[in-house]
Structure 1
Amino acid sequence: MMNITYGSWAATGQHTASRAGSRRRLIAAVLLAQFLSLCLAVTGISSAALAAAGVALPTSQSVLNYGLLALAFGGARLARGGALARPWWCYAALALVDVEANFLVVKAYQYTSLTSVTLLDCFTIPAVIALSYFVLSARYRPRHYVAAGVCVAGLALLVASEGVSSTAGPAPLLGDALVVAGALLYAVSNVTQELFLGAASTAEVLGMVGAFGALIAAAQAALLERGAWAALLAPDAGGAGGAGQAEGRHALVQSVGVAFGAFTAALFAFSSLVPVVLVWGGATALNLSLLTSDMWAAAARVLLFGGFGGAGGWFAASLALVAAGLVLYASAGSAKADDGRGAAGDGGASALHASARGFEAVPVADEDDHFSSEQQEQQRLRQQQEQQQGQGQQLRREGSGADLLVQWQQAPPPRPAPAGTV
């Protein structure tokens, strides 16, 4: 019995250490996501600057990013060799969803404000929760749903504020609808990436999505944005009249180049690190952590795009609701149950990635059910120890019988009795 008790406590200690490791990974994911939040804000500011300059190239902005992903990660995957973990058409479908999500959100900057796009993009959160529940079998507590509802209330308040804002954009409701549609596609993309990372490496997912994304985005840009490129590169793009024409055209092309470069660099860094956050914290934790990009967007709107036009109070209330929802969600604990993940480099196999079936497990317990879950865990471990001990005793009995048989077989044969003896 002492061995059973010791083993159960040792296993309980391992379980506690695993839970602590899961929390550390979640904290690391949230911290890394803050850098991604800054990258996301840079992409938004760049897109808003292009829209303010009259440049409408939503798909073209993403072509270079997908090409870089294909070169960097696709090259590493080719060097490693071997068969794909998923069929090629799965990555093509994921790339299509990702390209169209980027297209819709970037297109929205032509119709609504920077802060509206960044806040409404948070609609990804309830969509990710729903998809994770059905696709990844993630289980959420009531507090998670309340938190998501608070975030949605903040988004609804922002949409209502667009009617009283003088800087909301030429067609704020259309822009808001585009953002919501793009947010839904982002949710599909995030959850699908998290699912794919259960079997495929980061290099394979990003490399294949980059390759197919570059092809899809280039074809769509050639089909839909030829006129915008022709207008941008036309000799009179900077305005009419001699030296002013050349100077204006040069300034426009230069500003477009800077915006394109900033957008591509930020989006490439964002896309490269998203799988790491997905593995460590999950799609919901990623999208909740990215809410801090709204603060950067608000600062940019004040400094670069004319402030809030009398709707600052509405925006502050909306941001407060979204922040309250984030705090409430974090206080509910992690809904990601699979804690048995390791880490591997690019050259490693799928040790970095969680098994998709792992989300069916019971999530990490909160403080209020900590003791009951510990008791259940100890009882389960004791049962396992008893079963193992019973199997060990049976094996020892079988081993003892086998030893006797071997001794009997190896014993010398009995000597024959002398003649004449009875």
Structure 2
Amino acid sequence: MTDTEQEKSSRMSLDQRETLCGKVSRQLQRFKWRDIFTWQLLKTLLMGQGLSALICGTAVTSQFLASVYHLDLPMLQSFINYTLLFLSYTTALLFRTGDGNILQILKKKWWKYILLGLADVEANYAVVKAYQYTTLTSVQLLDCFIIPVLMILSWFFLKARYRIIHYVAVCVCLAGVGAMVGADLLAGRDQGSTGNILLGDGLVILSATLYAVSNVCQEYTVKNQSRVEFLGMLGLFGTLISGIQLAVLEHVQLASIQWTWQIAVVLSGFTLCMYTLYSCMPMVMKLTSATAVNLSLLTADLFSLFCGLFLFQYSFSGLYIVSLVVITVGFIMFNAVPTPNSSPESVSGEGGYDNQAADFDEEGRMGSAVEVTSEHQEKEKETDSRGRKHPSENRECVVISSAEL
């Protein structure tokens, strides 16, 4: 190649780079950040972190009960929570009329809610038992298995369709979890039993799968039925199932408890956090999705670690801050772009945050067309001074313009 040809090729490559940079620059100038960082996204982020704070409260109080007061009764703690749900939400279903009454619900869907209650109770129990066989690191890593399971179940049953940005966002969040686990290892917090790691890891995976099933059922119910129905039926069957397991598995430990006011206060704190978590999670899930909620809950372990710095004298690592920032960025990326459904109609009867952008776009177009058509109909009804209506050519023009909208 001659010097002239080399100069031409270098100039062409330079022009191509300048053209590419120009396109990117123009796209960034036209990009509206307000379309992403909306009040809806901020509210979703804050509500998700509120749920993480509640999970942190349950973790801290549980650790107090186990390490300070030597009270390790997970089924008792679950039973109290389900009983409160029963007293508040199941009772509310008794006073409803029509299809919302508890008798009508039981006639049609009793077996579905039995499976839901069983999945939720056993998910709580399996993850607690896993700590007896495996390490904290394994639990934190394998617990993230709930995210891909949720996405698969949402794809098939809720007809959610994810874009590339959503998969990238999930990877970013999992990278944040990896940073958190790395900080734990550097700080020497890899506590837990190693008696049967394979069994413990299997329990964590089982727990994550059952949680995913419960959360997908929860999202479908709160978006198509009601939050009270979901919590009421979960309270009914959760109380029955956890009560049976409590009587079978923990009756000896329960009879040997030496109650003090300190134990009562800490147990009450756990119950308050857990009850509030169960009551508020359907609200957040109705605005977003089960996958988005669980992505926001990845920061719960970080909140627990921050509390442990003061309560249990954990050692601090800068990777904790990095992990919090990375998970938050991934959560924002996931919620910034809607996840449309494959079907024209949303699974949700009232619509969730996932489909708001698509719904707004369709409604905006239809609204514009209807508005233009209605204006034209009003004009057609008007007559001029000669008693003649407007010519039909205008009708064709208006119809074309409304279709273009």
Match of 2:357 in 1: 364
| 1:68 CA drift (Å) | 0.9
Tell me the distance in 1 between the aligned counterparts of 2:164 and 2:212. 21
Match of 1:215 in 2: 240
The question of 1:275 aligning with 2:291 is answered no
CA contact (8 A) 1:47 1:106 kept: no
Tell me the distance in 2 between the aligned counterparts of 1:269 and 1:181. 25
Aligned residue identity for 2:237: F
More helix by share: 2
* Residues 157-194 of structure 1, C-alpha deviations (whole Å, 9 max, x = no match): 55566666533223265656544432332221111111
Structure-to-structure mapping, 1:343-382, within 5 angstroms: 354-355=348-349, 364=357
The DSSP-based 3-state class of the residue aligned with 1:87 is: helix
| 1:327 CA drift (Å) | 3.5
Cα 1:385/1:192, change in 2 over 3 Å: same
Cα 1:26/1:42, change in 2 over 3 Å: same
| 1:118 CA drift (Å) | 6.5
Match of 2:75 in 1: 59
Q: How many residues align?
A: 335
Tell me the distance in 2 between the aligned counterparts of 1:183 and 1:44. 17
CA contact (8 A) 2:131 2:193 kept: no
Match of 2:120 in 1: 98
| 1:195 CA drift (Å) | 1.1
Tell me the distance in 1 between the aligned counterparts of 2:213 and 2:170. 17
Cα 1:329/1:268, change in 2 over 3 Å: same
The counterpart of 1:201, out of the listed 226, 233, 239, is 226
CA contact (8 A) 1:139 1:363 kept: no
| 1:69 CA drift (Å) | 0.7
Aligned residue identity for 2:170: A
Cα 1:77/1:136, change in 2 over 3 Å: same
Structure-to-structure mapping, 1:294-305, within 5 angstroms: 294-305=301-312
The question of 1:44 aligning with 2:59 is answered yes
Tell me the distance in 1 between the aligned counterparts of 2:203 and 2:330. 23
Tell me the distance in 2 between the aligned counterparts of 1:382 and 1:170. 61
Cα 1:336/1:260, change in 2 over 3 Å: farther
Tell me the distance in 1 between the aligned counterparts of 2:368 and 2:324. 49
| 1:307 CA drift (Å) | 1.2
The counterpart of 2:269, out of the listed 262, 267, 283, is 262
Structure 1: which 5+ runs fail to align?
1-19, 234-248, 342-352, 366-372, 393-422
Structure 2: which 5+ runs fail to align?
1-34, 379-405
Match of 1:333 in 2: 337
Tell me the distance in 1 between the aligned counterparts of 2:138 and 2:98. 45
- For normalisation by structure 1, the TM-score amounts to 0.65
The DSSP-based 3-state class of the residue aligned with 1:203 is: helix
Cα 1:127/1:266, change in 2 over 3 Å: same
CA contact (8 A) 2:169 2:334 kept: yes
| 1:340 CA drift (Å) | 9.9
CA contact (8 A) 1:147 1:329 kept: yes
| 1:386 CA drift (Å) | 9.9
Structure-to-structure mapping, 1:14-25, within 5 angstroms: 25=40
Match of 1:35 in 2: 50
CA contact (8 A) 1:45 1:114 kept: no
| 1:44 CA drift (Å) | 1.1
Structure-to-structure mapping, 1:62-81, within 5 angstroms: 62-81=78-97
CA contact (8 A) 1:26 1:281 kept: no
Structure-to-structure mapping, 1:165-184, within 5 angstroms: 166-171=188-193, 178-184=203-209
CA contact (8 A) 1:63 1:213 kept: yes
The DSSP-based 3-state class of the residue aligned with 2:88 is: helix
Out of 383-392 and 278-287, give the one that drifted further: 383-392
The DSSP-based 3-state class of the residue aligned with 1:364 is: helix
CA contact (8 A) 1:129 1:284 kept: yes
Aligned residue identity for 1:333: V
| 1:333 CA drift (Å) | 1.5
Tell me the distance in 2 between the aligned counterparts of 1:90 and 1:51. 34
The DSSP-based 3-state class of the residue aligned with 2:162 is: coil
Aligned residue identity for 2:279: S
| 1:335 CA drift (Å) | 1.7
Which protein shows a greater Rg? 1
Aligned residue identity for 2:232: G
- For normalisation by structure 2, the TM-score amounts to 0.68
Tell me the distance in 2 between the aligned counterparts of 1:289 and 1:275. 14
Structure-to-structure mapping, 1:218-237, within 5 angstroms: 218-230=243-255, 232-233=256-257
| 1:138 CA drift (Å) | 0.9
The question of 1:192 aligning with 2:197 is answered no
